[in-house]
Amino acid sequence: MSRYREWVVLGLCLGLAGPAMAGQYDLGRPALPEEIAAWDLDVHPDGTGLPAGQGSVKDGERLFSARCAACHGEFAEGVGNWPELAGGEDTLADKDPVKTVGSYWPYLSTVWDYVHRSMPFGDAQSLSDDEVYAITAYILYSNYLVEEDFVLSQENFLEVAMPNADGFIVDDREEAESHFWQDAPCMEDCKDSVEITMRARVLDVTPEDEGEDGAAEEAVEVAATEETAAPDPELVAEGEKVFRKCKACHQVGEGAKNRVGPHLNGVVGRAAGAVEGFRYSKPLETAAADGLVWTEDALAAFLADPRGFLKGTKMAFAGLKSEEDRAAIAAYLATFE
Amino acid sequence: MSESQFRKPTSRRAFLGGSAAAAVAVGAGAARAAGPDPLITEVQDWAAGLGEGVDATPYGLPIRFEDDVIRRNVEWLTADTISSINFTPIHALDGTITPQGCAFERHHSGAIELRKEDYRLMINGMVETPLIFTYEDLTRFPRENHVYFCECAANSGMEWAGAQLNGAQFTHGMIHNMEYTGVPLRTILEEAGYNGEGKWVYVEGADASSNGRSIPMEKALDDVLVAFKANGEALRKEHGYPVRLVVPGWEGNLWIKWLRRVEVTDAPVESREETSKYTDTLADGTSRKWTWEMDAKSVVTSPSPQSPIPHGPGPLVITGLAWSGRGAITRVDVSKDGGRTWETARLARAGEARALTRFYLDTEWDGSEMLLQSRAMDETGYVQPSKAALREVRGENSIYHNNGIQTWWVRESGEAENVEVS
C-alpha cells in the first residue's frame, strides 16, 4: 500500500476529507506477491530472476527431442524456416550470417528466459525449471560450448561464456551516419548517369494474387478409399516412415505416454479429445463436445490442414500435403489399439 | 444492365492489359466521346430501383469492388503464419489514416482473444506499490488522442541485398498510422509511485510469446501511451485488443500488444526480441543494439507496381507517404529520373511528429519512362539516404531499419516495377 493510500485511509478514519494529490487517482489495487511471482518471470543477464534448479545435457537431449526437435531439428539445426539454434560460428560477417544461440546470442539468460516463458511453440510455460535448465544445457552442447557430461545450474549459470557476448554496440547512427543530416540535399545534376542495376521481376518472388489454381487441383484427385478388412502391410510400413514427422510430439505403441501431443494408441475411430491426462486446446475440446470422432476421413482432413480444420489447435504442424501420406498414417495408426 | 459492368477486372494482370489498351486509345490530349455514354443516357438499375436498407450491414466492410484492397502475406518469409507478418495495401490507400481492417499484423504466437473482463495490467518492480489495473481502471485516468505511425523494424528488410518484391505493399507495407486513445504510461507509473529510481521499464504481452522489450525510462515518461482505442473504436484483436502499448517513432516490436505487465527495472532485460532479433548486424559482423528510432523514410505509393498509371499522357498525380521516428516531416522531394534531378512535392498537410505525412506531386506526364523516387527530410535535418549510401555504412546484413530511397521504373504502358539504379 502506498504512503498516499495509508494517508488517505488515516484521513478517512479521522473523518477528514483527503485532498487529491497530483498524479494520484487511487485507481487499481495493490498486486499480491503470488500474482507478481506468477507473471514476473524475466531473467536478466546478471542472473536476476533465475530460479534454483539444474539440468544435464543428457536430460536436455531427451527433452529437446521430445519438445523442440519438431521445429528446431534433433541437433538444433532448424527444420524448414524454423530457427536454427546451433552452428553458424564465424559467419556474422559473411554474406548470409547464420545467427544461432552459439554464433549470435550475447547472453545465456535470454535462452533460459525465452525457453521458460515462450516455448514450446503452442505449449508455452509447460516446462519445469529443471527441464528448462536441461534444454538450455543441450542447446549449449549442440553449439559445442559445453561437454557431454555438463550440468547447468543456477550456481554455474554465469560461468558459461557466450562467444558473441562482445559482438554488440549501442546504436551509433547519429555519429556513424551523421552525414545523413544535411542542410541542402542535391536538386540538380546529382548524378552523371542512371542505369538500372537490378529488377525485382527477374527474381520473381512476389506473391501472385488469386490462388484459384493449386488448392482445387488436389481436391479433384479423389482416392478410392475402399474399406479393407486387413491392413495393407506396405501402406502401414509407409505410414511408419511418415510418422517420423509426428514422433517428436506423439507416441504410439506399448507404454505410449502423452508428450507435447497426446499418445495416439487407438486414435482411429475414437472420439476426439478423449485421452486422459492430456490438456487439449479449447477448440479441440469444443469440437469433441460437438461429437468429433477421428474417423479416417476426419483424421485425413485434420492432417491435410491442421489449423484450417481446427482453428486454434495446439498442434504446431504444417500438415501432410500428400493424400498418400495421409492414407499411410491412418493405416499405420490403425494398427495401434 | 448486365452484372459484368459492376465487376472489377479479376486480376491485376487483366487490369494492366485493359489499362494499357485504354491508354493507347485515349492518347494525348482531352478525351472526346465517340458517342453518347449509355451510363448517362440510359436509366441505370441503381437510379431506378432501391438499394439496401439501413440495417443490412450493422458493421460494414468496404464495398465488394474494393475487395482487392487487403493485407497480403509473403509466404516464403516465415515458417508459419502464426509467427509471421502481413502487409498493409499502402498502394491502394490515400490520406494518412490506415483503416484498422487492412493495417498490417505481426504476431509471434498468433492473435489471441482476450476479453476486457479478463484483462489485467500489472505494474511492478521498482515502484512504491506494485499495482493491478483492470480495463475499466484504465478508462478512469485522464486520456489523450494522438496520431502515430507504427512501422515494423523489418519493413523493407527483404530489399537489403537488392530489389526483390514487386509492390509498395510488400516493400513498404509493414506500417500503419492510426489515431490512438490512451493513458500516458507516465500517469500509470506515477500512480504506482515511481520515484525516479528505475532507469528502464520492461513491457510484456499476455500472449504465449510473452513478447517483451526494455525501454529506457526517459522514453517511457515522455510520450508512450497505454492505448485502448484506435481510429475511434476498440483495437482489433490482431492489434492487441483490448490494450496495447504505443511507442511513438520507435520500432513496432516495442508496441507490445495485449500489454499485461510493466516492470520498472534498473537495467534492460536483454530479452530474445532485443538481442537475437531486432539487432542490426553490420558488414564487419558486429551488431547494433537498441536501434529503436525509425529513420526518416518515404515511398511513392502510386504509381507503383500494384498501382500502375491507368491513363495516357497528361495530368498525373504522383503520391506517397513519408515519416520519421525523430519528428515531423518537413519536406519530400520526388525524382522522375532516378535521382538525377529532384522537385519538391506538396505536403497534403504540414508534417506531424511521428505520424505519416501524405505528399503529392501534381505533374504532367509526357508518356515516357520514369525512374520514380522520393526523398524525405525531417525536422532534425535528416535526409533519407540512397540505398547505396545506406549499404556503405551498414553492409547488406542488417535486416532491420532499411530506409533507403525506393525506385519504381514506370514504363510507357504505365506499368511499374521495383528496380535499383546506379
Q: Are B204 and B261 in contact (CB under 8 A)?
A: yes
The dihedral sign for the CA sequence B395, B396, B397, B400: positive
Q: What is the pLDDT of residue B120?
A: 98
Q: Is the pLDDT of residue A4 over 50?
A: no
Q: What is the pLDDT of residue B112?
A: 97
Q: What is the pLDDT of residue B5?
A: 37
The 10s digit of each residue's pLDDT in A136-172 is 999 999 999 999 999 999 999 999 999 999 999 999 9
A222 touches chain B (CB under 8 A): no
Reduced to 3 states (helix: H, G, I; strand: E, B; else coil), residue B63 is coil
Q: Is the pLDDT of residue A17 over 70?
A: no
Residues in chain B closer than 8 A to A260 (CB atoms) = none
Q: Is the pLDDT of residue B387 over 90?
A: yes
Give the CB-side neighbour count of residue A290, counting CA atoms within 13 A. Answer: 8
Cβ contact (<8 Å) for A169 and B289?
Answer: yes
Q: What is the pLDDT of residue A20?
A: 36
Q: What is the mean pLDDT of residues A120-132?
A: 95
Cα A98 off chain centre by = 19
Q: What is the mean pLDDT of residues B258-285?
A: 97
Q: How many CB pairs under 8 A join A and B?
A: 267
A105 touches chain B (CB under 8 A): yes
B80 touches chain A (CB under 8 A): yes
Q: Are B414 and B23 in contact (CB under 8 A)?
A: yes
* Domains of chain A, earliest start first: 3-30 (no CATH), 54-159 (1.10.760.10), 230-333 (1.10.760.10)
pTM of the model: 0.81
DSSP state of A79: S
**Domain boundaries in chain B?**
91-285, 297-419
Q: In angstroms, what separates the C-alpha of B363 from chain A's closest C-alpha? A: 17
CA distances to A221, A269, A294, B62 from A224, rounded to whole Å, are 9, 19, 19, 44
Q: Is the pLDDT of residue A12 over 50?
A: no
Which candidate in A2, A6, A24, A27 is best for mutational testing of the B interface (most B CBs within 10 A)? Answer: A27
DSSP state of A193: -
Q: What is the pLDDT of residue A270?
A: 86
Cβ contact (<8 Å) for A124 and B210?
Answer: yes
The 10s digit of each residue's pLDDT in A33-49 is 999 999 999 999 999 99
Q: Is the pLDDT of residue A13 over 80?
A: no
- Please give the residue of chain A at the shortest CA–CA distance from B193: A2
CATH-assigned architecture of domain B297-419: Sandwich (2.60)
Write the DSSP assignment of B208-267 as a string of letters. TT--EEEEEHHHHHHT-EEEEEETTEEPPGGGTTT-EEE-TTB-GGGS-TTEEEEEEESS
Q: What is the pLDDT of residue B25?
A: 43
Which range among A326-335, B227-236, B315-324 shows the weakest confidence by mean pLDDT? A326-335
Q: What is the pLDDT of residue B258?
A: 98
ipTM of the predicted structure?
0.90
Write the DSSP assignment of A55-71 as a string of letters. EEHHHHHHHHHHHTHHH
Q: What is the pLDDT of residue A218?
A: 39
Residues in chain B closer than 8 A to A185 (CB atoms) = 333, 342, 375, 377, 383
Q: What is the pLDDT of residue A31?
A: 97
Cβ contact (<8 Å) for B10 and A210?
Answer: yes
Q: What is the pLDDT of residue A240?
A: 84
CATH-assigned architecture of domain B91-285: Alpha-Beta Complex (3.90)
Q: Round the average pLDDT of chain B to a whole number and report it.
A: 93
Q: What is the pLDDT of residue A229?
A: 55
The 10s digit of each residue's pLDDT in A219-273 is 333 333 444 456 788 888 888 878 877 776 788 888 887 777 888 998 988 888 8
Q: Is the pLDDT of residue B305 over 80?
A: yes
- Which one of A35, A82, A200 has the shortest CB-CB distance to B418? A200
Write the DSSP assignment of B105-138 as a string of letters. -EESS------GGG-EEEEEESSSS-EEEEHHHH
Q: Is the pLDDT of residue B28 over 50?
A: no
The 10s digit of each residue's pLDDT in B34-80 is 999 999 999 999 999 999 999 999 999 999 999 999 999 998 888 88
Q: Are B232 and B207 in contact (CB under 8 A)?
A: no
Which residue type sits at B354? R
Q: What is the mean pLDDT of residues A281-285?
A: 82
Q: What is the mean pLDDT of residues A121-134?
A: 96
Cell of B173: 507495407
B341 touches chain A (CB under 8 A): yes
- Please give the residue of chain B at the shortest CA–CA distance from A111: B272
Q: What is the pLDDT of residue A279?
A: 78
Range 149-168 of A in CB contact (< 8 A) with B: 167-168
Residues in chain B closer than 8 A to A193 (CB atoms) = 422
Between residues B392 and A335, the one the model is more confident about: B392
% of chain B with per-residue pLDDT over 70: 93
Which range among A197-206, B18-27, B400-409 shows the weakest confidence by mean pLDDT? B18-27
The 10s digit of each residue's pLDDT in B342-358 is 999 999 999 999 999 99
Q: What is the pLDDT of residue A329?
A: 87
The 10s digit of each residue's pLDDT in B203-237 is 999 999 989 999 999 999 999 999 999 999 999 99
Pairing relationship of beta strands B131-134 and B287-289 according to DSSP bridges: unpaired
Q: Round to whole Å and give the CA distance between B389 and A102.
A: 32
- Please give the residue of chain B at the shortest CA–CA distance from A24: B191
Question: How does residue B17 score in pLDDT terms, banded at 50, 70 and 90?
Answer: very low
Q: Round to whole Å and give the CA distance between A256 and A236.
A: 19
Q: What is the pLDDT of residue A309?
A: 84
